[in-house]
Structure 1
Amino acid sequence: MTARIGVITFPGTLDDVDAARAVRYAGAEPVDLWHADEDLRHVEAVIVPGGFSYGDYLRAGAIARFAPVMRPVIDSARRGLPVLGICNGFQILCEAGLLPGAMTRNERLRFICRDVELRVEQTDTAWTSGYTAGQEILIPLKSGEGRYVADPKTLDALDGEGRVVFRYAQPAPNGAMRDIAGVTSADRRVVGLMPHPEHAIDRATGPSADGLGLFTSVMSALVAN
């Protein structure tokens, strides 16, 4: 039976179609979830995609965190449901308390849109098992509030617990602390990253196919369970 992976759409989301396409490329069935839904429709994983949810008013992700659909996402994630937050989705997961830290405006307050190389730091998550530790992948980055920040104690804990999943291979173009591009929850089921793997699943349409590994990795995790 084909795995069902939910893809949430908020008002202002713009990368949900690409995320659903990546799910199909990985061999799963994408399930459309609307911000007002209160039921996850028996999906086996959830993707919170990129965009500008609710126009990024207040700060990115701050309003979306309170959308009705986030209640079952938070509850299910705490019970082990794999959840991936991409760009704005990463911001939302931080706002929701599913991931530590916060996202702030890029250094020099500039929107960044370019391909970046990431180094895979951890392969023991639901979303990165298909990579090898130290592997470098090329995927697009496009954000204005992509600078990952946290207090020194949190940063030390993330490093000490092996919860930094991705780092920028070069100095972070957005000024992210310790070059952090993505982190995971303590149980390794929730992952957030600022760059866009869903835009790098096919060499014909992206800079590489390196991003597909996140989506095939979760398929492997679902089959294993």
Structure 2
Amino acid sequence: MFFALDIAVFLLMATLCAHAIRQPCACAALLLGGLKVNCSTLNLMELPPLPLDTTELYVQNNRLTTVSPGQFDKLLSLKRVSLSGNPFHCDCRIQYLRNWLLKNRAIVLKEPICVSPSFVAHKAITELSDDYFSTCVLERCTDETYNIILGLMLIGVIVLLLCSFRLARKSTFTLYIDESHVGFQANYFHSMKPKHRRRLLTVLSEVSEDSGSHNYKENLERPPVNMELLPQVLDVLHKKHNIKIKAS
């Protein structure tokens, strides 16, 4: 009875392993527990996602040039790994694998070597010194951490944009008019912000069209504004453009 139960568990683990990898790798459950994943000689250019309970991993004789940072960190049950026969390119991206190999030499069957660049060809990856990576920045963030940071940054940008739009809708400026004058010229608007000046000139043009005056159409750069039109200007600015005017 116990033997039949062991066989059932064995078959279940093998099925789950094959489903988790979703690659042409061969996956088998070990009698003593754990999984054996064989991805050797498949022309793989990168490692597939591996089950967390992988105990033995064989990826020799493929086309791997590096191993992504953090790819082995969650495989805490690894007891045997074979990485030889791959054309590893030993630049800054190989630093993670080099550090991992130094910590796990006991479980590596045959030490992988560099194939390129030429000045480190045929050299074991673990023989690369710290000085060799002195100009590199070790990539410490996994894909998951990177996605979280990127998501938070996007949320921050969206919040800033929403706040900016809200403040823009509530923007105000003060228009000071001396009552002793019967009119004023557009050059008095130069102290205003450009966007407010353009919007005010547009309103003046609209008011002039409604009142039948053609002077504003002829010269919008210096339109004389009659004080009799001022109430209409203030009303249009407030209702159509959401600009509050404080006249004094």
For normalisation by structure 1, the TM-score amounts to 0.25
Answer 1 or 2: which has greater helix percent.
2
Q: Which has the larger radius of gyration?
A: 2
Answer 1 or 2: which has greater strand percent.
1
